[in-house]
Amino acid sequence: MTDKVFEQAVREHANTVFRVAYHAVKDRPEAEDVTQTVLLRLYQYHGDFQSGDHLKHWLLRVTVNESRKVLRSPWRKRRVPLEDWDGAAAEEPEDLGVLEAVMALDTKYRLPVYLYYYEDCSVQEIAAALGANPSTIQTWLQRAREKLRTALTEEKKEGTPYVRPQIVP
């Protein structure tokens, strides 16, 4: 991979890599470390990519794998408090409540929802990136939609904004 191709790939995909890592590990410094590791692996990669989609798929897969390594790390035996979460960029203020509800989902639901709705990945791409069957991804997305519908409907009924659940170590 030439330096020019690498620089172009970083410009196009670094933010996506960071956001996916951030949604996986829920910690900005760890997401930055994952992003740096993924980009280093890209720089050291000696193969060629068939297309831009192939490159994006490779980056997503490596990001998910590196995020899983971080989550399995012995340093990561406790959960990170959601108070440290400064939120991913929501386009509209009303979308922030939905994004917070997405961030409160379990990891197995949160990452597929984020990739599907915020990164416009197909079910097949998500399945390949997460190493799961497409039917499993569809099931996770359906269950996540139900959980989000319940959480957001309760928010509307109560007339109070969605409050993130507190996670204690």
Same domain, 60 and 129: no
Q: Is residue 85 part of a domain?
A: no
Report the SS3 class of residue 167: coil
List the one residue out of 31, 24, 151 whose CA is nearest residue 97: 151
Res 92 pLDDT > 90: no
Same domain, 69 and 31: yes
Same domain, 99 and 152: yes
Q: Is residue 152 part of a domain?
A: yes
Choose the final residue of a domain: 26, 57, 80: 80
Q: How many domains in the chain?
A: 2
Extract the tokens encoding 48: 């060629």
Q: What is the pLDDT of residue 37?
A: 94
Res 165 pLDDT > 80: no
Mean pLDDT, rounded, of the chain: 80
Q: What value does the mean pLDDT take over residues 136-155? A: 87
Q: What value does the mean pLDDT take over residues 79-97? A: 52
CATH number of the domain within which 53 lies: 1.10.1740
Q: What is the pLDDT of residue 114?
A: 85
Q: What is the pLDDT of residue 156?
A: 63
Q: Write the CB contacts of 137 (distance below 8 Å, at least 6 apart in sequence).
A: 112, 123, 126, 127, 130
Choose the final residue of a domain: 80, 101, 120: 80
CATH number of the domain within which 132 lies: 1.10.10.10
The single residue listed with the structure tokens 């949160």 is 110
Q: Is residue 64 part of a domain?
A: yes
How crowded is residue 101: how many other Cβ atoms within 10 Å of its Cβ? 20
Q: Is residue 134 part of a domain?
A: yes
Choose the final residue of a domain: 59, 80, 101: 80
Q: What is the pLDDT of residues 94-145, one digit of tens each?
A: 556 777 788 888 888 888 888 888 888 889 888 888 888 999 999 999 999 9
Domain limits for position 114: 92-161
- Give the residue, 38 or 152, on which the prediction is more confident: 38
Q: Is residue 86 part of a domain?
A: no
Q: What value does the mean pLDDT take over residues 19-37? A: 91
Q: Is residue 130 part of a domain?
A: yes
Same domain, 102 and 157: yes
Q: Is residue 100 part of a domain?
A: yes
Q: What is the pLDDT of residues 39-69, one digit of tens each?
A: 999 999 888 888 888 999 999 999 999 998 8
Q: Write the CB contacts of 169 (distance below 8 Å, at least 6 apart in sequence).
A: 78, 79, 81
Q: Is residue 166 part of a domain?
A: no
pTM: 0.58
Same domain, 22 and 47: yes
